[in-house]
Amino acid sequence: MAVQFEVNGKPVSVEVEPRLTLADCLRHHLRLTGTHVGCEHGVCGACTVIVNGDAVRSCLMLAVQAEGAKVTTVEGLSNDADLTPLQKSFRKHHALQCGFCTPGMITTAHALLSEEPDCDADRVREVLSGNICRCTGYIGIVEAVLDARSAYKKAPAP
Amino acid sequence: MKMPAFEYACPETLAEAVALLASHDGEAKPIAGGQSLLPMMAFRVAQPTLLVDLRKLAELRGIRISSDGVRLGALVRWRDIQDDARLATAHPLLADAIKHVAHYQVRNRGTVGGSMAHADPASEMPGVAVTCDAEIAVRGKSGTRTIKAADFFLGALTTALAPDEIITEVRLPAWPANRRHGFQEFARRRGDFAMSGVALFYDLDAGGKAANAHVGVIGVGDHPKRLAAVEAVVNGQTVDEATIAKAVAAASAAVEPPDDIHASAAYRKALTGTLVERALRSAAA
C-alpha cells in the first residue's frame, strides 16, 4: 500500500505491506535508524516517536495508520550545529550508558516537556515508567529531564 | 516483520466497516489504537486476515456528559479521559481508574472500545464498566443492540461481541453527588497489568450509612466481576473500622485468583483484601 506522511518536517511516500510497523518503516524504508526497536510489543519504550504531538510506541502503530500524520523521530530533535538543551542535559547528568534506550527517553521527555514544562519529579518518573533502561538506574535520566525544563519554559526546543 | 500478513481497510462509514467485518467469516478484526491488538498479533495469538481501521469514523469519538450519565465513544483515548476536567465530578471513579491504565505512550493511542473488546482480565475500563453497570452499545450487520457489562465479558479475552459487531459507545449511568468511591490496584511496575485491582462505590444515605454498594475486582479472575458478599457487608453500615475489617475478610474469601508467574493465588487473595481496605478508606475519607 502507498502511504504518505511527514517525517521530521519532510513529506515522505512509501510503499509498504500493511503488517509493517511504523518503527520498521522508519528504520528500513526511511533509514532513520535512531528509532530503536527493543521488545516489539509495547513494553520497553525504546521505539517511542512523536505522532501529531503525542509520544507513541512506533512498534504498536502500523505504518499504514500514519497516513497524513506528522511524525517526529529522535533525528528530528537534534541539529548539526550544537547539542540541544535536552541532549546537553542528558550528557551533563550521565543519563545514558549503552544508549539503546536513549532515543525513546529523548522523544518521551521532549513530548512531556513540550506540554508540561513545569512537571515535577513524580510526574517525570510516572511518564518514564513506560521506558526501560537497564544501565542507569534512572536517577540520572530523571535529573536530566528536570534540569532541561528551563529550556522548554522559554521557547520550545527544536 | 514480526506479524502475520493481513489486508488492511480504512472505511469512511460505520456501515462500511460492519460490512467488511461481516464479509470475512470472523477472520477480520476492527483496529482503533491497536495497543492491545498489535501485541497480540506480534505474538501471533491473534492472526486476523483483515484489519478494519476505525480512525475515520468521527461518530465514535467524543465524551458526552448529561443527566443520564457519561457516554464514551469507542474511539475515546485514555488521554482524552485524563484531559477532560468535567469527569472529576461527572464520573470520579472513571477518572481515578484511568490514571492507572498502561503507560504514557500507550495512553496516547489506547481506546475505550479497544480495551472493552480485548477484555484483558486485569484491564481497568472493563472493571469500571462492570462495577458501574455500564451498557455497551454495538453495531453489527443486523443493526444495533446494547449489552449490559455484566453479560459482556465471558472470559479472558472473550466477549459477547459477534465477529461483525463494533463497539460504538460505553454508557456509564449518572453519578449522584452523595456517592463515595475508591479505586486501587497493585502492579510491580507502574502502568503494568495489575495483580489485583478494586473499583468500588456506595451512596451515603441521610443517616450517613452506605447504600447501593458496588464492589468490582480486576486481575483476580478470567474477567472483571462484582463481589456481592463484600457489597452485603458494606450496605446499611457506617464505613468504619469494623465494617472495613469485615469487608476485607469477605473480599479475600470471595475471590478465586489463579497462580501464575506474577503472583501466587494466596498472595492475590490477601492483596485483594488490602486493596478493598485502601479503597474503602479513600472512599470514606
Q: Strands B7-9 and B50-53, how do they pair?
A: parallel
For residue B204, tell me if it sits in a domain: yes
Tell if the CB–CB gap between A65 and B43 is shorter than 8 Å.
no
Q: What is the CATH number of the domain that holds B46?
A: 3.30.43.10
| A129 → closest Cβ in B1, B5, B190 | B190
- CB-nearest to A55 from B51, B105, B189 is B105
Query: Are both B147 and B253 inside the same structural domain?
Result: no
How many domains does chain B contain in total? 3
In a domain, B220, yes or no: yes
Within 10 A of A30 (CB to CB), how many other CB atoms are there?
18
Contact of A82 with chain B, judged by CB distance below 8 Å, is answered with no
Band of pLDDT at residue B1, cut at 50, 70 and 90? confident
Residues carrying CATH 3.10.20.30, chain A: 2-77
B45 and B73 fall within a common domain: no
* Residues above pLDDT 70, as percent of chain B: 100
ipTM of the complex: 0.94
The Cα–Cα gap between B78 and B67 comes to: 23
Q: Provide mean pLDDT across the span B174-193.
A: 93
Q: Taking CB atoms and an 8 Å limit, are B53 and A40 in contact across chains?
A: no
- Every domain range in chain A assigned CATH 1.10.150.120: 85-153
Instruction: Tell me: do B87 and B190 sit in the same domain.
Output: no
d(CA B170, CA B69): 11
The CA distance from B130 to the nearest CA of chain A, in Å, is 27
Closest CA to A104 of A26, A30, A29, A28: A26
Which residue positions in chain A have pLDDT lower than 50? none
* pLDDT of residue B25 exceeding 90: no
- Confidence band (pLDDT; 50, 70, 90) for B37? very high
CB contact under 8 A, A130 and B2: no
Per-residue pLDDT, averaged over B103-113, amounts to 97
State how far the Cα of B102 lies from the Cα of B190, in Å rounded to an integer: 8
Q: Is there a domain that residue B219 lies in?
A: yes
Chain A neighbors of B79, CB-CB under 8 A? 54
- Phi, psi dihedral angles at A4 (to 5 degrees): -125, 130
Amino acid A24: pLDDT: 98
* Residue range A85-153, CATH number: 1.10.150.120
Per-position DSSP letters for chain A, written without gaps between them? -EEEEEETTEEEEEE--TT-BHHHIIIIIS--TTS--SSSSSSS-TTEEEETTEEEEGGGSBGGGGTT-EEE-GGGG--SSS--HHHHHHHHTT--SS-SSHHHHHHHHHHHHHH-TT--HHHHHHHHTTS--SSS-SHHHHHHHHHTHHHHHHS---
pLDDT at A155: 61
Chain B nearest CA to A19, separation (Å): 6
- Among A147, A63, A135, smallest CA distance to A109 is for A147
B40 and B93, same domain (yes or no): no
Burial class (CB in 10 A: 0-12, 13-18, 19+), B212: middle
Q: Looking at the predicted structure, is the pLDDT value of residue B224 above 70? A: yes
- pLDDT, mean of residues B133-140: 98
The mean pLDDT of chain B is 96
B90 vs B73: CA distance, rounded Å: 16
In the prediction, which pLDDT does A71 show? 98
Packed helices A102-115 and A139-147: angle between N→C axes, nearest 10 degrees: 40
Asked if B38 lies within 8 A of A61 by C-beta distance, the reply is yes
Q: Which domain holds residue B251?
A: 179-284
> Is B200 part of a structural domain of the chain?
yes
> How far is it, in rounded angstroms, from Cα A78 to Cα B279?
46
Confidence tier at B189 by pLDDT (50, 70, 90): confident
Question: What CA–CA distance (Å, rounded) separates B58 from B11?
Answer: 11
CB contact under 8 A, A126 and B190: yes
CATH, domain A2-77, list 3.30.110.30, 3.40.50.150, 3.10.20.30, 3.40.50.720: 3.10.20.30
Q: Residues of B with CB below 8 A from A18's CB? A: 5-8, 51
B33: nearest CA partner in chain A: A61
3-state secondary structure A8-54: CCEEEEEECCCCCEHHHHHHHHCCCCCCCCCCCCCCCCCCEEEECCE
CATH of the domain at B257: 3.30.390.50
Same domain, yes or no: B86 and B184 = no
Residue A140: all three cell numbers together: 540520572
Å between B124 CA and nearest CA of chain A: 17
B34 to chain A: which residues are within 8 Å by CB? Answer: 60-62, 65
- Residue B1 within any structural domain of the chain: no
Cα–Cα distance measured from residue B65 to residue B177, given in angstroms and rounded to the nearest whole number: 15
For residue B23, is pLDDT > 80?
yes
> What pLDDT is recorded for position A158?
60
B183 inside domain? yes
Place of cell 472500545: B113
> Quick check: A48 contacting B, CB < 8 Å?
yes
pTM: 0.95
Contact status, residue B196 vs residue B220, Cβ threshold 8 Å: yes
d(C-alpha B49, C-alpha B43), whole Å: 15
Structural domain includes residue B2: no
Note whether residue B270 is domain-resident.
Answer: yes
A130–B102 C-beta distance less than 8 A: yes
